[in-house]
Amino acid sequence: MGDSGFRFLRALLVPALAALAIVGVGSVADAAPGTRCAGATVTTRTASPSPTGWAENLTFDPSGNLWVSRLYGNSVERYDRSGRRTATVPVWAPGALRVGPGGDLYVNSGDQLSFGTERKGVVVKLDPLAAQPNPTVYARGFAMPNGLAFDADGFGYVVDSSLGVVRVAPGGAIDRRWTDTARAAFATSRAVNGFSPNGAVVIGNHLYLTFTASRTGRVVAVPLDDPGSMRVVADLTAPLPGLLDDLTALDPHTIAVTSTLGSLILVDVRTGAHCSIALGRPATAVAVQPADSRALVVASETGDLLDVRLAK
């Protein structure tokens, strides 16, 4: 979300987090204390293009181009392998962006705080290889579309920080039954100890989710074929509250999670074991470089893009 919106939300969240830490919400899974990830290095890949260059999200397309959501600039940018910017595409308040059905690039639009019954958010799609891509609306009806993931069958999962997780069928129609079941689970599951769902990634039959704010920096898993069920994957900041953002998969058993408190956290989804990498900037999203799962690119609130090299 945009800087002003995020600062506003953070102002609301801090007192709420304090209350969560005192009274508790849901169950807290036992988690091994987090440690530093040995051997990781962090360097600046691309400096922010402006003081308001907030990089909300990023991903690689099939040709190895890097796409970045510039939320304050109401645009998404394409960078080639040499780091040269080759396109700037107007998209209002862009959030997560992912390659999906047909090889198109899908972008959440409207990733900012909304109030009342506003449903101005959409998902747009564009041809990532076009000289000047032209976005068109793919799905409508969102309040604050933030995270985005696709499964192997082309279903999209829009993490709406106001409405919960919305499943979008291939073609753009909302899967109301799945979405309503997931929403009910968010309201009742003891696995949920925070609010404002944020990032998403699909691995196999599970959707892994973060929360903008939770009592323990919690990551949960939702079975795609049973959205009414939910389990705790890890508590990344316990016993302290956590502020998490987007995440990605490194392999079938490992995810990388960004924290707006300035770290990247690697998590084994089988055991919950995790380690962290200090970034020196509030991190918003992470992507794996093509053909090298140990080379990551991280987006930040400052607008800088960071290269993170993991130890072998």
Task: Give the tokens for residue 203.
Answer: 């691995």
pTM: 0.90
- pLDDT per residue rounded down to tens, the chain (312 residues): 444 444 445 444 544 444 433 333 222 222 334 699 999 999 999 999 999 999 999 999 999 999 999 999 999 999 999 999 999 999 999 999 999 999 999 999 999 876 556 689 999 999 999 999 999 999 999 999 999 999 999 999 999 998 999 999 999 999 999 999 999 999 999 999 999 999 999 999 999 999 999 999 999 999 999 999 999 999 999 999 999 999 999 999 999 999 999 999 999 999 999 999 999 999 999 999 998 999 999 999 999 999 999 998
SS (H, E, C) 204-248: CCEEEEEEEEECCCEEEEEECCCCCCCEEEEECCCCCCECEEEEE
Which pLDDT score, from 0 to 100, does residue 8 have?
Answer: 43
Measured CA to CA, the distance from residue 266 to residue 125 in angstroms comes to 30
**Phi, psi for 223 (deg, rounded to 5):** -65, 135
Q: Is the peptide bond before 241 cis (omega within 30 degrees of 0)?
A: no
Residue position matching structure tokens 């907030």: 54
pLDDT at 291: 86
Q: Which two tokens stand for residue 110?
A: 């409207």
Neighbouring CB atoms inside 10 A of 48's CB total 18
d(CA 19, CA 196): 16
- pLDDT at residue 299 in the model: 98
Predicted local confidence at residue 115, as pLDDT:
56
